[in-house]
Amino acid sequence: MSQTAFDSPSQAMVDEAPGGASVKIVLAAVALSLLFASLGQTIVSTALPIIAADLGGIDNLTWLITAYLLASTVAAPVSGKLGDLFGRKAVMQGAIAIFVVGAVIAGLAPSMGILIAGRAVQGLGGGSLIVVSMAVVGDVLPPRDRGKAQGILGAVFGVSTVLGPLIGGFLVEALSWHWIFFVNLPVGALAFVVIAAALETPAPGIRPRIDYAGAACLATFLSAIVLIANMGGSAVPWVSGTMALLLAIAVCALAGFVAAERRASQPILPLELFRNNTFLVVNGVGFFVGVAMFGTITFMPLYLQVVQGVTPTVSGLFLLPMMGGLIAASMAAGQLMSRTGRYKLLPIISTAILAMSLLTMTALSSETSLWVIAAGMLGIGLGLGPVFSVGVAAIQNAVPARMLGVGTASANMFRLIGGSIGTAAFGAIFASGLSANIAGHISGDLSGGVRSVSAEMVASLPAADRVTVLEGFSNALHPIFFAGAVLAVLACLLSLRLRELPLGTTLPGARP
């Protein structure tokens, strides 16, 4: 039997996954599902202004993003556990169906409220697909080869980050914004059929007992945390009754979750995982990097448009160096992990590169060369690439097979929470710095932070005020990049605490 592209260097791996399907076919199905889900997350960004003009409700526009993020965060641990209990195939097909239903609701939406509801439904399906897709890798590949496969999946996710907005922009210009949702129907049908052919239905076993109480408490806790991070200081004042209520809900839900997990026979997120070194370190690193990544990259297009004066399209293209670095580093790290069986140094080195790259961004000004910015973005991508792909493979190697889905889901969950908190926290830092730096030089309310200043507004200013505003804008971003660099350093130091476990060359339970 010939070797596949994912063979271990120490031992030939069988061409068939458990159940008889080709490993190549299974991984192709997983990659298609991941691309389908991640495109659904990014394709809407370029259509937001047109949607707001058509449906109205511009004040609620950010909820199109928040609703998807919130639903994805909640879905991650629940779908991971359901995959452990009922098999990945059923959960993936259910997630595809949910995602497509959400796309239909969004595409036919007559109002902003219904569109937001559709995006929330899409988030439940998309978040589940991403998690379970990554868990399938642990089912069909031995630990030594998982890093390589996770690196490829990381590359797929990186491609979708760039491809999504481009496809969305094309569909909006050629057809209408409705088609950014309707296009999911044929792609979803293809993914459903491929998954049906590639994955096997597990044989019936002991009837699982679903931890409803734990799932409800965890979902409530995650929802409250994401809402606090996304609404605090913008839609709702930090010091307000609403914030106090959300905080109280989060605390009570967390207490209820701990109590429920201690009693549950099959907990949704077993507390024993929090005594696992790899689980704690990898997810801690993912959280810090999530804060740094989402919290800093959010502001890069804004700086390019306002300070450098480039078009929105060109500012979007500056994400390409970052995505190129992410894809290259992710795949290279997976190859190295497979060939050597070692992985501890990879997050240490990558987070150090991330910290140095973010530090270069603290010197941004109106005089900074675009080539310097592109080089910095490339460095950020090189620093991000290995963190998530290696982290998922390390967790899958460290947790029992019965917790594979839950362990995989945790990596996505902590990254999303970090990203949500980072975006909110850094947005508050930027708004405060912007107001202090350019007060008196520009009219209007600056409390909106990233939405307060536009390139057109700056261009209309007198020359002297324009120079002051551009420098003040750049200076307001410096603390954000510095904070991101500090978080990357913390992630690097935390990575030093990771206990490296041997990577096996056979599937758990398989014959050596």
Query: For the chain, percent helix, then strand, then coil, each to nearest 5?
Result: 75, 0, 25
Residues sharing a CB contact under 8 Å with residue 41, sequence separation 6 or more, in sequence order: 68, 72, 126, 160, 164
Q: Which of 7-11, 278-282, 415-419 has the lowest mean pLDDT?
A: 7-11
At 362-412, the pLDDT tens digits run 888 878 888 888 898 899 988 888 887 788 888 888 888 788 888 888 888
At 169-180, the pLDDT tens digits run 777 777 878 888
At 346-359, the pLDDT tens digits run 999 999 999 999 99
**Residue 98 pLDDT grade (very low, low, confident, very high; cuts 50, 70, 90):** very high
**Residue 457 pLDDT grade (very low, low, confident, very high; cuts 50, 70, 90):** low
Report pLDDT for 458: 65
How far is residue 155's CA from residue 137's CA, in Å, rounded to a whole number?
15
CA 71 vs CA 120, 219, 224, 247: distances in Å: 6, 9, 12, 19
Report pLDDT for 491: 93
How far is residue 475's CA from residue 469's CA, in Å, rounded to a whole number?
10
Write out the two tokens for 299: 């502001």
Higher-confidence residue: 434 or 206? 434
Contact 43, 165 (CB under 8 A): yes
Q: Which of 42-51, 101-110, 243-252, 349-358 has the lowest mean pLDDT?
A: 42-51
Mean pLDDT of the chain: 79
Tell me, letter by letter, the H, E, C secondary structure of 208-265. CCCCHHHHHHHHHHHHHHHHHHHHECCCECCCCHHHHHHHHHHHHHHHHHHHHHHHCC
Higher-confidence residue: 335 or 427? 335
**Residue 487 pLDDT grade (very low, low, confident, very high; cuts 50, 70, 90):** very high
Percent of the chain with pLDDT over 70: 83
Determine which helix (DSSP H) or strand (DSSP E) holds 266, and give its type and residue range: none
Upper half-sphere CA count for residue 302 (Cβ side, 13 Å): 19
At 118-143, the pLDDT tens digits run 988 998 998 888 888 888 887 778 88
At 32-51, the pLDDT tens digits run 888 878 777 777 766 776 77
Write out the two tokens for 58: 């511009």
Burial class (CB in 10 A: 0-12, 13-18, 19+), 428: middle
How far is residue 347's CA from residue 418's CA, in Å, rounded to a whole number?
17
Residues sharing a CB contact under 8 Å with residue 234, sequence separation 6 or more, in sequence order: 424, 427, 448, 449
Determine which helix (DSSP H) or strand (DSSP E) holds 73, and give its type and residue range: helix 63-86
Report pLDDT for 139: 78
User: Among the residues of 264-276, which ranges form H helices?
Assistant: none
Q: What is the largest CA-CA distance in the chain?
A: 76
- Terminal Cα distance for the chain, rounded: 16
**DSSP state for residue 16 in the 8-state scheme:** B
**Residue 10 pLDDT grade (very low, low, confident, very high; cuts 50, 70, 90):** very low
Report pLDDT for 60: 65
Contact 99, 126 (CB under 8 A): yes
pTM of the entire structure?
0.79
- Checking if the pLDDT of 204 tops 60, the result is no
Residues sharing a CB contact under 8 Å with residue 171, sequence separation 6 or more, in sequence order: 43, 47, 177, 179, 180, 183
Residues sharing a CB contact under 8 Å with residue 333, sequence separation 6 or more, in sequence order: 147, 151, 343, 346, 350, 385, 386, 389, 390
